Amino acid sequence: MASLWLKILTALKFRNMVLRARNTTLHVEAVNVADCTEDLKQLQDRWGDILADSKVFAESYGILIFNFSLVQARTNDSAT
């Protein structure tokens, strides 16, 4: 789980730094938010890989591994 949070928070931190810049325009901020959304979608698509990497890392340090199931949340797209 820590791997996933690290990847999410790293992406958000960079985008947040851009948003906090003093000379940003509304256009730059809109592009930044769109890029952040795309970054999060890519992480969501790679969830299985991130989970597998985390399990390998945990096993190498002898950490107890819980069984996680991949649950796909219902989105507005699938509701229509």
What's the pLDDT tens digit per position in 18-70?
A: 777 777 788 888 888 898 899 889 988 988 888 888 888 888 888 877 665 55
The pLDDT value given to residue 54: 81
**75 located within any domain:** no
Q: Which domain holds residue 36?
A: 2-65
pLDDT-based confidence at residue 78 (cuts at 50, 70, 90): low
DSSP 8-state code for residue 68: -
In a domain, 78, yes or no: no
Give the length of the chain: 80
Determine the average pLDDT of the residues in 5-24. 80
pTM of the model: 0.58
Overall number of domains in the chain: 1
Q: Is the dihedral of CA 18, 20, 23, 25 positive or negative?
A: positive
Q: Enter the tokens of residue 59.
A: 């096993």
What's the CA gap between 54 and 41, in Å, rounded? 19
User: What is the signed CA dihedral for 76, 68, 50, 1, rounded to 10 degrees?
Assistant: 100
